[in-house]
Structure 1
Amino acid sequence: MEFVMDMLVQRFGPMGPLFAVGGLGFLLILLTLPFLLQKKSDPMDKFRDSVKASKSGGKNGPALRIGGKHDKLEKYSNFLEPQNEEEYSAIRMKLIRAGYRGKNAVRTFHFAQFALGIGLLILGVIYTVVNNGMGAEVTTRSMVLSTLIPGFVGYYAPKYWVTKRIQERQEQIVNGFPDSLDMMLVCVEAGQSMDHSIARVSKEIRAGYPALADEYAMVSHEIKAGKDKTTVLKDMGERAGVSDVSNFVTVLIQSAAFGTSVAEALRVYASEMRDKRVMRAEEKANTLPTKMTLATMMLTVPPLLIILLGPSIYNIVETLGKMSL
């Protein structure tokens, strides 16, 4: 390996190893892209062609929105979307929990990873070339790090963003869930049905908790569309990814199955959610002194030492200076 590195440096200069790595990576990309971009035959192609033909023939035929003619990433779907059904479902559910419900969300997510990774990798190469051109001493290790680290950052940045979005939405759902249950209990006790109560609550809490309002609104729309209520509630619990919502869904399903009062079940569960929220607040309050200890020591102890020991140290230094004279 050292012989190869020395030969590249002697032949191409200090940037020889970087040129070799870049050329090899570019060659691998060129060899791989034809296989990745090769579009497999789709059973729906025939149906799409018939729909396009009906559109071009006039307004007599039905027009369905399939794929979308403005979707420029559709022809790269085999490359940008996972072909494994389980993997596709997992990333799809993750994006739904982050609030990205579009049908092209998975494709856009992988395109963002690919584009940011390649783009920042190219910027890292440009930075290394410019830094070397300015006469700075660049080692092989620094060249590799300055080239690869931006690429890794660009590739994992969308994944980090989606994870943070999921955490924010779940925290918003957890915080607003007890209030939504209280509103739902008021609506049910006022004589409204459960379906109308969910729709009303989704409108009332949108200003404070839009993520939870979206979940309730989707439940309301799916029930109005004729979907089975049990399936709709289970889908809501899976989309939210919060244990409180999943338990609430179980309570409603069991209440409907055994014929018990929905209002009574809501009253008991809402009380439990309020107690749980108080316990979470107390837990955060109890951990606050521990978190503040380090900051308190860093911001308080040094000034205190300076105030207490500063004059004594100054007098000692001044006395030693006089004695040396």
Structure 2
Amino acid sequence: MNIIDTLNARMIDVLGPFGGLMVLGLFGVLLILITLPVVLKRPTDPLDRIKAATRADAARAAGPKTERLRTSSGKSKLERYATFLEPQDAKEYGAARLKLLQAGYKSKNAVRYFHFAQFAMGILGLVLGGIYALLEMQMAPVTQKNMAIMLLTPGCVGYLLPKYWITRRVASRKEAIEHGFPDSLDMMLVCVEAGQSLDQSILRVARELKSGFPDLAQEFEIVSQEMKAGKGKEAVLRDMSERCGVQDITSFCTVLIQSQQFGTSIGDALRVYASEMRDKRVMKAEEAANKLPTKMTLATMMLTVPPLLMILIGPSIVGITRMMGTGE
């Protein structure tokens, strides 16, 4: 007990009245970081081992070149922690996957990397908060409430930072797609009227838009590649509308699907829809222009009315003040 009391007194002298609690908290964080990989390690499924052995035997039987082509480049390093880093509910996993797709992250392990980033940033925030709390305790006494705030605030910020980044990325990507979509419709209409098929038109538009609107060009390239792979046009277009998450893209895909189902001309459908998109762009510009007077009213009143009052009423106030001073 003497050794424990001596260590406790030493920590209180160095770190302040909460020195023992701070050391215990940091020790707990380190213990979590050390033991978490062992606890969360997912046992290997025997069926997976059988499948891997079967694939390896088939690759060796096919020859060395085929073995190199078909052998995977390696599993993800986070595969063993998939049960912890991925939602187990299929609906929740699908929602997270769709949001990451709309943000432009199309890797099959994107959900896993996202949750790992949240976990890692949260732990890093807690460590930085603990270091900051230690420095503050050496300079001045810190209450228990302030210490909790200094510890938890960086951790919460680090945990929410990846989610905020994804939300901002989705918004900026949707805005970029909306800006480039009317021009892409006009180019697609020109290609179709020149005699190209829909697949060739989409591929040509993707090449032309790559420098100005890379997000929209990437979506058109995915559509073209999936069509070449033999996937149905209806499924390809619906997948594109889900990935983009833009109402204009959804309406465009619906128009093409209906045109294919009813056997109408794709060129006529594109011409009508492109005309509507041009009108919609003009309406958006007019709406933005009509909002300007309302937005500038407050700034105009704050910057114009006070100087005007000073110019108009200032001399009168000065004259009245002098007159009252002379009368006294």
Deviation at 1:72, TM superposition (A): 2.0
Equivalent pair of 1:37/1:79 in contact (CA under 8 Å)? no
Quick one: which amino acid aligns to residue 14 of structure 1?
A: P
Query: What does residue 95 of structure 2 align with?
Result: 90
Quick one: which amino acid aligns to residue 101 of structure 1?
A: K
| Correspondent of 2:267 among 263, 268, 291 | 263
Paired with 1:104 and 1:67, the residues of 2 have a C-alpha distance of 15
Equivalent pair of 2:40/2:80 in contact (CA under 8 Å)? no
Residue 103 in 1 paired to residue 108 in 2? yes
Q: Equivalent residues in 2 for 1:113-152 (5 A)?
A: 113-134=118-139, 136-152=140-156
Higher percent of residues as helix:
2
Quick one: which amino acid aligns to residue 156 of structure 1?
A: L
Equivalent pair of 1:18/1:143 in contact (CA under 8 Å)? no
Q: Per the alignment, do residues 22 and 99 of structure 1 end up closer, same or farther by CA in structure 2, a change over 3 Å counting? A: same
Query: What does residue 76 of structure 1 align with?
Result: 81
Secondary structure (helix, strand or coil) at the match of 1:82 reads: coil
With 64-73 and 275-284 compared, the bigger mean Cα shift is at: 64-73
With 45-54 and 201-210 compared, the bigger mean Cα shift is at: 45-54
Secondary structure (helix, strand or coil) at the match of 1:138 reads: coil
What count of residue pairs does the alignment treat as equivalent? Answer: 314
| Correspondent of 1:221 among 225, 229, 242 | 225
Deviation at 1:291, TM superposition (A): 2.8
Deviation at 1:316, TM superposition (A): 9.9
Paired with 1:67 and 1:92, the residues of 2 have a C-alpha distance of 23
Query: What does residue 15 of structure 1 align with?
Result: 18
Quick one: which amino acid aligns to residue 261 of structure 1?
A: S
Q: C-alpha deviations, 1:132-169, integer Å up to 9, x for none?
A: 012x2312221111111111110111111011111111
Paired with 1:141 and 1:300, the residues of 2 have a C-alpha distance of 47
With 49-58 and 38-47 compared, the bigger mean Cα shift is at: 49-58
Paired with 1:281 and 1:293, the residues of 2 have a C-alpha distance of 20
Q: Equivalent residues in 2 for 1:14-53 (5 A)?
A: 14-15=17-18, 18=22, 35-39=39-43, 41=45, 43-52=47-56
Q: Per the alignment, do residues 296 and 24 of structure 1 end up closer, same or farther by CA in structure 2, a change over 3 Å counting? A: farther
Paired with 1:318 and 1:142, the residues of 2 have a C-alpha distance of 56
With 188-197 and 288-297 compared, the bigger mean Cα shift is at: 288-297
Deviation at 1:183, TM superposition (A): 0.6
Query: What does residue 185 of structure 1 align with?
Result: 189
With 310-319 and 105-114 compared, the bigger mean Cα shift is at: 310-319
Equivalent pair of 1:18/1:144 in contact (CA under 8 Å)? no
Quick one: which amino acid aligns to residue 97 of structure 2?
A: R
Q: Per the alignment, do residues 109 and 76 of structure 1 end up closer, same or farther by CA in structure 2, a change over 3 Å counting? A: same
Question: What residue ranges of structure 1 are gaps of 5+ in the alignment?
Answer: 1-7
Quick one: which amino acid aligns to residue 15 of structure 1?
A: F
Equivalent pair of 1:37/1:76 in contact (CA under 8 Å)? yes
Secondary structure (helix, strand or coil) at the match of 2:87 reads: coil
Deviation at 1:46, TM superposition (A): 2.1
Query: What does residue 5 of structure 2 align with?
Result: none
Q: Per the alignment, do residues 140 and 198 of structure 1 end up closer, same or farther by CA in structure 2, a change over 3 Å counting? A: same
Paired with 1:112 and 1:281, the residues of 2 have a C-alpha distance of 39
Equivalent pair of 1:255/1:261 in contact (CA under 8 Å)? yes
Secondary structure (helix, strand or coil) at the match of 1:38 reads: coil
Q: Equivalent residues in 2 for 1:142-291 (5 A)?
A: 142-291=146-295
Paired with 1:293 and 1:239, the residues of 2 have a C-alpha distance of 40
TM (norm. structure 2) is 0.82
Q: C-alpha deviations, 1:263-283, integer Å up to 9, x for none?
A: 111111111111111112222
Paired with 1:140 and 1:269, the residues of 2 have a C-alpha distance of 63
Secondary structure (helix, strand or coil) at the match of 1:62 reads: helix
Deviation at 1:317, TM superposition (A): 10
Equivalent pair of 1:97/1:241 in contact (CA under 8 Å)? yes
Q: Per the alignment, do residues 35 and 64 of structure 1 end up closer, same or farther by CA in structure 2, a change over 3 Å counting? A: farther
Deviation at 1:81, TM superposition (A): 1.7
TM (norm. structure 1) is 0.82
CA RMSD of aligned residues (A): 3.4
Paired with 1:263 and 1:274, the residues of 2 have a C-alpha distance of 16
Paired with 2:121 and 2:262, the residues of 1 have a C-alpha distance of 53
Deviation at 1:83, TM superposition (A): 2.0
Q: Per the alignment, do residues 216 and 318 of structure 1 end up closer, same or farther by CA in structure 2, a change over 3 Å counting? A: same
Secondary structure (helix, strand or coil) at the match of 2:270 reads: helix
